[in-house]
């Protein structure tokens, strides 16, 4: 201590949920790929989702395995351990509550909510989270249709996308891919939201397009975009 001033280690002063950002981002990406999209999580796929190099992923995976947060099987598929799943669900829950806060209370445009919530999620503590949940009216799903872990029934998600259903079939949009802001803007402009009824008018596989009727008007989209819209059967 010099001149009577107090000093401290900045790392010690930083809240734990903020200091674990990199680890939590990996765990939530693994959770989203496997739980939300039904995909096998391999290192190359994880690198693509996180937009980082495969060697960087390999280095972090060693740490996550060492810390007992993930495991890999004989096919090199990555799995969350019980502790890794608990951590991932905690961060996904906070992220989706932040999305509800941003859209429902702060009235930020729907298509901006994912990126903004990613900035907020690490600042939500064990103390703040239950108060936020109550203040928001106990939401069970995010604005993009995803269940909020730990809140509401633990239902199995539909892995059927708009690209999977046949011409003339009707469905209801269950959830939409939330990690691409430009894609969300397209969804917003075309009225593609969870809960909307959709009718597949035509499929043009050689052109790579799907024409769907939403709110009584045709919307043409690429099959890759249609594959980012998960649906459930219309009742």
Residues (pLDDT < 70) of the chain are: 1-19, 152-153
Q: Please state the domain count of the chain.
A: 2
Q: What is the pLDDT of residue 17?
A: 53
- The reply to whether 143 falls in a domain is no
Look-up: residue for tokens 């999620």?
A: 121
- Give the length of the chain: 235
Q: Which of 59, 82, 105 is the last residue of a domain?
A: 82
Q: What is the pLDDT of residue 70?
A: 98
- The reply to whether 126 falls in a domain is no
Q: What is the pLDDT of residue 111?
A: 97
Structure tokens at 142: 């995010």
Could you tell me the CA-to-CA distances from 175 to 86, 114, 122, 148, 229 in Å, in that order?
23, 13, 24, 12, 6
Q: What is the pLDDT of residue 19?
A: 55
In DSSP terms, 222 is beta-bridged to: 209
Please give the model's pTM, rounded to 2 decimal places.
Answer: 0.88
Structural domain for 45, as ranges: 17-82
In DSSP terms, 66 is beta-bridged to: none
| CATH number of the domain residue 209 falls in | 2.30.30.90
Q: What is the pLDDT of residue 154?
A: 72
Q: Which of 56, 82, 108 is the last residue of a domain?
A: 82
- The reply to whether 163 falls in a domain is no
| CATH number of the domain residue 59 falls in | 1.10.10.10
Q: What is the pLDDT of residue 20?
A: 81
Report whether 179 contacts 168 (CB < 8 A): no
Q: Which of 60, 82, 104 is the last residue of a domain?
A: 82
């Amino acid at each position: 201590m010099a001149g009577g001033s107090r000093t401290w280690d900045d790392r010690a002063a930083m809240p734990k949920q903020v200091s674990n950002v990199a680890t939590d981002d990996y765990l939530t990406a693994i959770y989203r790929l496997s739980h939300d999209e039904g995909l096998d999580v391999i290192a190359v796929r994880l690198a693509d989702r996180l937009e980082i190099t495969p060697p960087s992923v390999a280095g972090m995976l060693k740490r996550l395995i060492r810390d007992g947060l993930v495991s890999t099987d004989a096919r090199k598929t990555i799995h969350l351990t019980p502790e890794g799943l608990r951590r991932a669900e905690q961060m996904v829950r906070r992220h989706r509550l932040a999305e509800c806060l941003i859209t429902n209370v702060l009235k930020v445009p729907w298509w901006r909510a994912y990126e903004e919530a990613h900035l907020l999620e690490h600042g939500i503590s064990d103390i703040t989270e239950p108060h936020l949940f109550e203040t928001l009216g106990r939401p069970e799903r995010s604005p993009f249709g995803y269940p909020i872990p730990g809140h509401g029934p633990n239902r199995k998600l539909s892995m059927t996308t708009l690209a999977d259903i046949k011409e003339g079939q009707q469905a209801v949009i269950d959830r939409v891919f939330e990690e691409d802001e430009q894609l969300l803007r397209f969804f917003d402009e075309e009225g593609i939201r969870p809960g909307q009824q959709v009718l597949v008018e035509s499929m043009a596989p050689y052109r790579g397009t799907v024409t769907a009727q939403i709110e009584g008007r045709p919307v043409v989209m690429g099959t890759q975009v249609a594959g980012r819209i998960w649906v459930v059967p219309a009742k």
